[in-house]
């Protein structure tokens, strides 16, 4: 028995056999060979379907034919599996399974472990995966993102594969494709860097890419038709999405082009975080999981209907051994086969703590530098108790996994559930304590009045590496659009300053900073908040505006460089934060704090930071002997000051010794 499977068994829910639900009595398969094992001499297929009485494999020469070229019966194997070895070289052939449970045969389905698929993922494909490597793939290595590769050293930039370069002005040849994100040296008509080159210049360390596994909502057979989706509707978890390849009909092309994209990103010094969605499936009754083992992979309500904590029609049962095993092996597959550098878990609060810790322990045993984080909430009620789920309030029980800090997010810009609600940067003075809570990464701090924090009434983190510091993501309005709705009377100049103030707060906060695509270009989705299928015209980054946003781009790049150069913004323990960040008395609507940089061996021994969330200039007293950090200017140091400074409305000031 391998060590990972032993770990799975060790954390199985235990109870007397006569009290266990039927699903928990199903046999558990210990092997690592579910799915296809290919060789030119024979292909071996194994599926898990413990309640089946018969199982059948059908092989098709391509996607379009309707009559199978070969049908073979599988035989019973260990642990509820069915298997067959088919002699000969079947490379390129499509394959599906059917099982008989009772008197009914299932529909044809690819197996959950498929690693290659045909158009629209309806049939899996027999491939020699070793032949999908682009030139130099075996030499590909992830770049270090700091000397220590600590999570708080990361600066994450979230993007969608189409959004980032599908604009005709991006200068990218393979727009909206895996190959497009990997292109280097692209420029717009003004000669300014776009795509990957722009992101490199910006200075971020990790590219968080929205789902690029095989999802259900885009018809891959119509590549020239206008189609768009974020991709949070999983179909085949271990297969790249075909619409992002140059030829969805060639199962090897999508794999090779994705690897090529990752290799290019690595070559240029950035890392790739994969957005994964194990919490639900696009299909429910007809999913590959449910066709092979009805009901098992999902949680249910007392009336046996599918529970729905995801608001997507179902929720997967990560606490059951075979889905726990699936999640673990899927993550490890992407890690090894595609050199992925991190994983973001969608609606992670649906998953149980034990499974998430098993994944983290297993991943970090192989790659300690991998960044893991997720949404510490659900979209509805789950039958699994809160106490055992990977919720924000339970983050201290997770092993090396961070959660998004929604207290800071909504403290900065206002509630995402009410577009008109103002945040601190737009003049809501009551949100200052929520921002301060985010500045200390939700860790214990003696100066935080938790009764005034918007959501968390107590610290939930025990280390800054457990918290993602952010103010916007793909969900809801962009920051620019949110400010337009919540502060409708603000001038364009004030609104720009609000945006820059928000980004300054994020990049000077403790924790792991996270930026949304195009924020440096004041990206707008034209007022559409839930733009998951709204199309390119709403979601795309418009590279033609870059020349108008040089100030904002330079501002953000300088902030990122400052953060990466100074460990005072990247503390690693809650004790350091509590001891070395001191909030000072400030006028209403302002936040002022001092960081003791010397305590963490920073070249800046003292750092004084002020945020002005009001529209009025504030006269503030600056400690003597400090230098002004000229954020957004060419020079990164300014004259010594002694006395007061006039901080403009919606402005930030950083001084240091």
Query: Measuring CA to CA, how many Å separate 337 from each of 135, 179, 240?
Result: 15, 18, 12
The gap from C-alpha 78 to its chain's centroid, in whole angstroms, comes to 36
Catalytic pick among 375, 433, 540, 602: 375
Catalytic pick among 346, 369, 410, 494: 346
Tell me the helix, strand and coil percentages in the chain, rounded to 5: 30, 20, 45
> CA 61 to CA 635: how far, in whole Å?
64
Closest CA to 623 of 647, 578, 655, 650: 655
Specify the pairing of strand 206-209 against strand 271-276.
Answer: parallel
For residue 633, the tally of other CB atoms under 10 A from its CB is 14
What backbone torsions phi and psi does residue 328 show, to the nearest 5 degrees?
-60, -50
> CA 46 to CA 36: how far, in whole Å?
7
> CA 127 to CA 222: how far, in whole Å?
24
> CA 575 to CA 472: how far, in whole Å?
28
Closest CA to 177 of 252, 238, 260, 92: 260
Q: Which residue has the tokens 């020239």?
A: 224
Q: Which residue has the tokens 């235990």?
A: 14
> CA 129 to CA 131: how far, in whole Å?
5
**Is-contact 33 44, C-beta < 8 A?**
yes
> CA 427 to CA 406: how far, in whole Å?
19
Query: Measuring CA to CA, how many Å separate 407 from each of 233, 378, 506?
Result: 27, 16, 12
Write the DSSP symbol of residue 394.
Answer: G
**Is-contact 85 43, C-beta < 8 A?**
yes
Task: List the beta bridge partners of residue 583.
Answer: 593
**Is-contact 612 652, C-beta < 8 A?**
yes
Specify the pairing of strand 590-596 against strand 581-584.
Answer: antiparallel
* Active site (annotated) includes residue 386: no
> CA 429 to CA 586: how far, in whole Å?
12
**Is-contact 68 95, C-beta < 8 A?**
no
> CA 59 to CA 382: how far, in whole Å?
39
**Is-contact 167 517, C-beta < 8 A?**
no
Which element (helix H / strand E) includes 181? Answer: helix 178-181
**Is-contact 467 405, C-beta < 8 A?**
yes
**Is-contact 608 655, C-beta < 8 A?**
yes
Closest CA to 415 of 460, 458, 375, 472: 472
* Active site (annotated) includes residue 63: no
State the catalytic residues: 346, 375
């Amino acid at each position: 028995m391998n060590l990972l499977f032993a770990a799975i068994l060790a954390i199985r829910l235990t109870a007397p056999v006569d009290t266990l639900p039927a699903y928990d009595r199903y046999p558990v398969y210990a092997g690592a060979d579910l799915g296809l094992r290919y060789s030119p001499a024979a292909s071996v297929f194994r599926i898990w379907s413990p309640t089946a009485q018969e199982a059948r494999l059908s092989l098709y020469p391509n996607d379009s034919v309707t009559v199978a070229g070969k049908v073979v019966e599988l035989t019973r194997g260990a642990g509820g599996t069915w298997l067959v070895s088919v002699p000969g070289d079947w490379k390129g052939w499509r394959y599906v399974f059917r099982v008989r449970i009772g008197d009914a045969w299932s529909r044809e389905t690819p197996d959950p472990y498929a690693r290659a698929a045909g158009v629209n993922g309806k049939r899996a494909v027999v491939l020699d995966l070793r032949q999908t490597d682009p030139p130099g793939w075996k030499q590909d290595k992830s770049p270090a993102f700091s000397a220590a590769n600590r999570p708080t050293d990361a600066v994450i930039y979230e993007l969608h594969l189409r959004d980032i370069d599908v604009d005709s002005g991006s200068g990218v040849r393979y727009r909206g494709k895996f190959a497009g994100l990997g292109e280097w040296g692209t420029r717009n008509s003004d000669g300014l860097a776009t795509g990957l080159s722009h992101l490199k210049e910006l200075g971020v360390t990790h590219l968080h890419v929205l789902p690029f596994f095989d999802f259900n909502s885009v018809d891959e057979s119509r590549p020239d038709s206008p189609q768009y989706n974020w991709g949070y509707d999983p179909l085949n978890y271990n297969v790249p999405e075909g619409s992002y390849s140059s030829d969805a009909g060639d199962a090897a092309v999508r794999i090779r082009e994705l690897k090529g994209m990752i290799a290019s990103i690595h070559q240029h010094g950035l890392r790739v975080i994969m957005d994964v969605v194990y919490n639900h499936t696009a299909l429910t009754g007809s999913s590959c999981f449910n066709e092979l083992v009805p009901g098992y992979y999902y949680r249910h309500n007392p009336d046996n209907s599918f529970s729905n904590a995801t608001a997507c029609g179902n929720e997967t049962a990560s606490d059951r051994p075979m889905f726990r095993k699936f999640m673990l092996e899927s993550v490890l597959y992407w890690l090894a086969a595609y050199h992925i550098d991190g994983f973001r878990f969608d609606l992670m609060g649906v998953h149980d703590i034990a499974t998430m810790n098993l994944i983290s322990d297993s991943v970090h045993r192989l790659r300690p530098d991998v960044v893991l984080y997720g949404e510490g909430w659900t979209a509805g009620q789950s039958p699994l108790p809160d106490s055992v789920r990977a919720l924000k309030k339970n983050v201290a029980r997770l092993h090396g996994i961070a959660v998004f800090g929604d207290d800071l997010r909504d403290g900065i810009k206002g509630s995402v559930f009410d577009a008109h609600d103002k945040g601190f940067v737009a003049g809501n003075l009551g949100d200052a304590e929520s921002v301060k809570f985010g500045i200390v990464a939700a860790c214990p701090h003696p100066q935080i009045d938790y009764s005034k924090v918007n959501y968390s009434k107590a610290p939930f983190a025990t280390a800054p590496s457990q918290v993602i510091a952010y103010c916007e993501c793909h969900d809801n309005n962009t920051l620019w659009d949110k400010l337009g709705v919540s502060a409708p009377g603000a001038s364009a100049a004030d609104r720009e300053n609000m945006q820059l103030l928000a980004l300054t707060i994020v990049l000077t906060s403790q924790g792991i900073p996270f930026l949304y695509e195009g924020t440096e270009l004041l990206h707008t989705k034209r007022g559409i908040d839930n733009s998951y299928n709204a199309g390119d015209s709403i979601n795309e980054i418009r590279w033609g505006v870059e020349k108008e946003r040089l100030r904002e781009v330079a501002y953000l790049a300088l902030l990122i460089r400052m953060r990466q150069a100074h460990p005072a913004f990247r503390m690693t323990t809650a004790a350091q934060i509590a001891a070395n960040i001191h909030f000072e008395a400030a006028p209403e609507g302002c936040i002022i704090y001092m960081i003791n940089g010397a305590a963490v061996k920073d070249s800046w021994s003292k750092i004084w930071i002020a945020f002005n969330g009001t529209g009025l200039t504030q006269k503030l007293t600056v400690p003597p002997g400090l230098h002004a950090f000229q954020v957004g200017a060419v020079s990164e140091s300014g004259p010594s000051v002694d006395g007061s400074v006039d901080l403009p409305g919606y402005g930030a000031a950083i001084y240091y010794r």
